[in-house]
Structure formats: C-alpha cells, structure tokens
Amino acid sequence: MAYVIGAACVDVMDRSCMEECPVDCIYEGARKLYIHPVECIDCGACAEVCPEQAISADRAADPDHRLDNRRFFEEPLPGREEPVGSPGGSAKIGPVGADTAMIKAG
C-alpha cells in the first residue's frame, strides 16, 4: 500500500510532503512529485500537510495517477535509458528532472 500524488501537484510542487516523509520516498520530477509505491510506509503524514490536498491513499486515489506514480519508478522516463528503480531515498538521487509521459503530455 502507498499514498499517491494526483493532478493538483502538477506545476505546484510545494514540497511540504518531502519535508514530512519519514522515509524520504517522495521523488521530484520536472513538474510533479511522485511517491515510491514500494518505499512508502503508508503513514499518511504527507497527505495531511499538502496545501493542494493532492495526496490520497492508493485505495482512494485516481487510478490513472496510481498507475502513473508506479510508472515513474518502474519504466524508463521519456528520454531516459534506465528506470528510476528503488533508490531508497530521494535525497540520494536529488531531483529526477523528468516526468512520466502522462504528466509531460498533460
């Protein structure tokens, strides 16, 4: 289980959630943030601080964004060779600087 960031984050990226996340599992794309579906421990701290209320539990999330959050990590992003994978903390890799095809096109 994991939390999912939805459309309200696009081009806002407040990043309060990144400060709250106890396991540093929120990664920064170019236009949007993404929660790692495996590294997330489902604590919900991010959802409570998001000023855009963009974050919801996966069972309540928009299915397209639920899939898209997963794709950000599991499939190579547009123009990239390798998927982001599971780095074990976004601070370790910094801003990824790219988005999924769905967000890039949107």
Partner 1 sequence: MRRAAVLTVTVMSTLAEISMPTDDSPPIEVDILIVGAGPAGLYGAYYAGFRGLRVAVMDVLPQPGGQITAMYPEKPIYDIAGLPSVRGRDLVDNLLAQAAPYGPEYLLGHQAVDLSYDDDRPVVRSVQGATVRAGAVIVTGGIGTFTPRPLPAARSFDGRGLVYFVRRLADHTDQDVVIVGGGDSAFDWADSLAPLARSVTIVHRRDRFRAHAATVERVREAGVEILVNSAVTAAAGSDGLETVQVTHLPDGTTRELKAQTLIAALGFTADLGPLLGWGLELRSRRITVGTDMATNLPRVYAAGDITDYPGKVRLIAVGFGEVATAVNNAATVIDPEAELFPGHSTDGPAERK
Residues found near partner 1 in the complex (CB under 8 A): 1, 16, 20, 22-24, 38, 41, 43-45, 48-49, 86, 88-89
Strands (E), the chain: 3-5, 26-28, 33-35, 55-57
How near is the Cβ of 5 to partner 1 at its closest, in Å? 18
Strands 26-28 and 33-35: antiparallel
Select 41 or 93, whichever has its Cβ closest to partner 1.
Answer: 41
10 Å Cβ neighbour count for 74?
Answer: 13
What gap in Å lies between CA 31 and CA 61, rounded to an integer?
Answer: 19
How near is the Cβ of 79 to partner 1 at its closest, in Å? 26
Select 21 or 103, whichever has its Cβ closest to partner 1.
Answer: 21
Select 22 or 63, whichever has its Cβ closest to partner 1.
Answer: 22
